[in-house]
Chains A and B, each alone.
Chain A
Amino acid sequence: MFATAPLRVVAVSAGLSSPSSTRLLADRLAEATRERLAADQDRAVEVQVVELRDLAVSIANHLVTGFPPADLRDAIDAVTGADGLIAVSPVFTASYSGLFKSFFDLIENTALTGKPVLIAATGGTPRHSLVLDHAMRPLFAYLRAVTLPTSVYAASEDWGAPGDEYAEGLPSRIRRAGGELASAVTGRTVSGATRAATLDDGEDAVVPFAQQLADLRVN
């Protein structure tokens, strides 16, 4: 095999504080994925983290105007062009944050089709850990992404000191999730659905008019 382009792993972090535990989890998951890809596949990996906090105003403007400002357009392109996606949200009011949802509301609804996605969330209490399964999984199921079996929830107490009896679970879950994303990125499970053509595809974006008429049985 000749050398190929680096794999692109993009992590979306919807944490609002700086530093944030959501960003920390995103970084750890990205690093775990990178390590596994480097070890198993000898493939170069480019990791990019998209901080939604920095895009908050652009996201609101896109919702209002219908088009993305340049910084947001770059972020959307990175997410839709990634080989593997890591999506991490804090839990706000029993679900993913409004900013997280607003960002994914702006992703074209076929643009993540077949893409491996690792979902993760942070919260102040472990009682909200099912947010991954009642909120995040359905969102990515709608987008026809391939959501990995392991998802990672980190409550405040999970970040305890090294060797803490509660904390040792988190690194191992992060490693398992990163390994799953690494395998999925290289194996690239693709669903039967395909991404819809856009204007960027030029003439491929059009269904020839004769076919449009034929579909309506207009002569």
Chain B
Amino acid sequence: MQFGIFTVGDVTPDPTTGRTPSEHERIKATLAIARKAEEVGLDVFATGEHHNPPFVPSSPTTTLGYIAARTENLILSTSTTLITTNDPVKIAEDYATLQHLADGRVDLMMGRGNTGPVYPWFGKDIRQGIPLAIENYALLHKLWREDVVDWEGKFRTPLQSFTSTPRPLDGVPPFVWHGSIRSPEIAEQAAYYGDGFFHNNIFWPMEHTKKMVDLYRRRYAHYGHGTAEQAIVGLGGQVFMRKNSQDAVREFRPYFDNAPVYGHGPSLEDFTRETPLTVGSPQEVVERTLTFRDAVGDYQRQLFLMDHAGLPLKTVLEQLDLLGEEVVPVLRKEFAALRPAGVPDAPVHPAVTAARAATAPKEV
């Protein structure tokens, strides 16, 4: 099972000091966070993509290319890549290039984006969100698998005899996850292609996440990629930890109360009860995370949101230390012990698998 972090890339004032980091500071902090993720033994770093303030990651492959050069083992991913407003040809080129630079340590997660004005800024219409996601991905899928592509669709200028370069590393396209909070069409899309399905699992109750994953699993089996239990599932989650549970609650509360999206709404206590948010000791985070498996079955990837809502870099790095030292090693062991044979790992590029096999510590 893979463990990692995903970032939204928000530039948010620290509510305890009122200080807002500059965009430059935020971008540099993102790099420090990614390198820390590798240092503490996490598997995945994923960045969001946004084209409006207060977010900085508008150019994910630039950032991920830099991180690729500064890391050895970390899988670089996205959360999410906007399959609606980006040209699928440019996605094919950018991520195939990144795949070569990173020697295969690349996958990506498709998402639609829910910021209305971004669509017209890129010449699209948000009401066409689902059809855009379906058509654009159909083209991207083809561009990575067929050397010469003829294409005609509703949303993009036709292509005749087009070859997307560079070709994917070793002829193996990056693995793709499809992320959606509530659209059955996207679970269906992931199932149809035998791709992974990721639920952000942050804003809504676990019961809802379970419904989306169940639907994806049933349709994955329907399309003959394997049994429902073999479908490739990823979940998000958010945590804040201190050794002492009360310290975690006291320190995180002002960040929660003022957080973008859900701040100024329910209490921290209500939100931790009703959603997967966990604020407490590393042990509590371990216990809560293990319950995700009860809801969705054995799954392949767990990403945590650690660096949002104005948390200072120093705090985020401390959180990653706790995650890497006290949470993930326990979760790896517990999830592995519970996992039946026949449940696959998340696909990684063969070069990555080979390199890992060569450097992996011996099982104890």
Contacts and interface: CB of A to CB of B under 8 A. Distances in A.
Contact of B203 (A66, A69, A209, A218): A66
Nearest to B193: A209
Interface in B240-254: none
Given A203-B218, A207-B185, A207-B188, A61 B270 contact: yes
B134 A199 contact: no
A206 B187 contact: yes
Contacts of A70: 274
A45 B275 CA distance: 36
Interface of A: 60-61, 63-67, 69-70, 197, 199-200, 202-203, 205-209, 212-213, 215-218
Contacts of B223: 209
B192 A202 contact: no
Interface string B227-244: 000000000000000000
A203 B17 CA distance: 49
Interface string B138-167: 100000000000000110000000000000
Contacts of B203: 65-67
A216 B219 contact: no
Nearest to A58: B266
A194 to B, nearest CB: 16
A54 to B, nearest CB: 16
B189 interface: yes
Nearest to B191: A209
A216 B132 CA distance: 9
A216 B131 contact: yes
B29 interface: no
B185 A213 contact: no
A215 B212 CA distance: 23
Nearest to B222: A203
Contact of B184 (A64, A199, A215, A218): A199
Contacts of B212: 199
A206 B185 contact: yes
A66 B188 CA distance: 23
B211 interface: yes
B185 A203 contact: no
Interface in B164-193: 182, 184-185, 187-189, 191-192
> Which of B184, B185, B187 lies at the interface centre, i.e. has the most chain A CB atoms within 10 A of its CB?
B184
A63 B189 CA distance: 29
B182 to A, nearest CB: 7
A200 B134 contact: no
The 4 closest A-B CB pairs, nearest first, are: A64-B265, A209-B192, A205-B184, A206-B188
15 contacts: A61-B266, A64-B265, A65-B204, A65-B275, A66-B204, A67-B204, A67-B274, A202-B214, A206-B215, A212-B134, A212-B185, A212-B189, A215-B131, A216-B153, A218-B153
Contacts of B208: 67, 199
Contact of A65 (B131, B185, B214, B262): B262
Contacts of A60: 265
B265 A212 contact: no
B154 A69 contact: no
B335 interface: no
A206 B219 contact: yes
Contacts of B192: 209
A60 B208 CA distance: 20
A37 to B, nearest CB: 35
B188 A216 contact: no
A209 B138 CA distance: 11
B266 A65 contact: yes
Contacts of B262: 64-65
Contacts of A66: 203-204
B271 interface: yes
A60 to B, nearest CB: 7
Nearest to A67: B204
Given A199-B182, A206-B184, A206-B185, A69 B274 contact: yes
Nearest to B182: A199
A65 B219 CA distance: 29
B189 A209 contact: yes
Contacts of B265: 60-61, 63-65
> Which of A200, A215, A218 lies at the interface centre, i.e. has the most chain B CB atoms within 10 A of its CB?
A218
B264 interface: yes
